[in-house]
């Protein structure tokens, strides 16, 4: 998708990424869960300001912000809002579509519902690493393709973030309702 898709309010981008397809090489999956981060909110890496680690967060929209969590897990984010604003959408879960056997080999797991049901799982399944930080999601090697159809409002589920007091009333997390491929049960609003 083009840059203009990402150059909007990060919550809107997080909502509309549901149903889109993440593709890397032979592997691809439909996004079923996202989480928005914005520099105004302390859980966001950009909250502390521009550093070497977080500079991608402030980069032009439509780029991939990839970082390592807990020294083990790779997180894939799509940079949103205008250049200079630190905001991004974490891709939290996918419904596997293509390259499923390769995903199973990379994960060492057979169960389709366990292949991409978490932010660290989906990057492992798709072979995404830190070397993909600051690459374009429009030109690849990782690309995000538009949803085949728009989601009906009833299919969308929103939730507050867990463990954050400030701005806890805002709906930062989005998923496709009743999808079997999300990372975990969410608190209902």
Partner DNA sequence: CATGGGATTGACT
Partner DNA sequence: GTCAATCCCATGC
**Angle, alpha carbons 137-139-141 (nearest 5°):** 75
CA 153 to chain CA centroid, Å, is 20
Nearer residue to DNA within complex by CB, 8 or 73: 73
Task: Name the residue nearer to DNA (CB basis): 19 or 118.
Answer: 118
Indicate the residue among 153 and 163 with the shorter CB distance to DNA.
Answer: 163
The token pair at 126 is 């798709």
- Taking CB under 7 A as the rule, does residue 121 contact DNA? yes
- List 8, 113, 120, 151, residue binding DNA (CB under 7 A): 120
- Does 153 bind DNA (CB under 7 A)? Our answer is no
Residue 63 CB-density burial (10 A; 0-12 exposed, 13-18 middle, 19+ buried): buried
For the bound state, the minimum distance from the C-beta of residue 127 to DNA, rounded and expressed in Å, comes to 15
Helix %, strand %, coil % for the chain, to 5?
25, 30, 45
Site for DNA in 56-115 (CB under 7 A): 57, 65, 67-73, 75, 77, 88, 90, 107, 109, 114
Query: Under a CB-based contact definition with an 8 Å cutoff, are residues 116 and 181 in contact?
Result: yes
Q: Which residues bind DNA (CB under 7 A)?
A: 35, 37, 43-46, 48-49, 51-54, 57, 65, 67-73, 75, 77, 88, 90, 107, 109, 114, 118-121, 130, 183
């Amino acid at each position: 998708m083009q840059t203009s898709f990402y150059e909007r309010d990060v919550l809107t981008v997080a909502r509309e990424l549901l149903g889109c397809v993440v593709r890397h090489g032979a592997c691809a999956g439909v996004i079923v869960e996202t989480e928005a981060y914005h520099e105004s909110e302390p859980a966001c890496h950009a909250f502390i300001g521009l550093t070497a680690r977080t500079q991608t967060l402030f980069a032009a929209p439509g780029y991939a912000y990839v970082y390592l969590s807990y020294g083990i897990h790779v997180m894939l984010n799509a940079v949103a809002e205008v250049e200079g604003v630190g905001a991004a959408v974490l891709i939290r879960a996918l419904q596997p579509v293509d390259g499923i056997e390769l995903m199973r080999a990379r994960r060492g797991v057979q169960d389709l519902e366990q292949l991409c049901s978490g932010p660290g799982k989906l990057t492992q399944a798709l072979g995404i690493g830190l070397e993909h930080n600051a690459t374009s999601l429009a030109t690849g090697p990782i690309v995000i393709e538009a949803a085949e159809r728009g989601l009906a409002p009833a299919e969308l589920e929103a939730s507050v973030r867990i463990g954050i007091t400030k701005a806890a009333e805002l709906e930062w997390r989005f998923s496709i309702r009743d999808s079997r491929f999300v990372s975990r049960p969410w608190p209902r609003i």
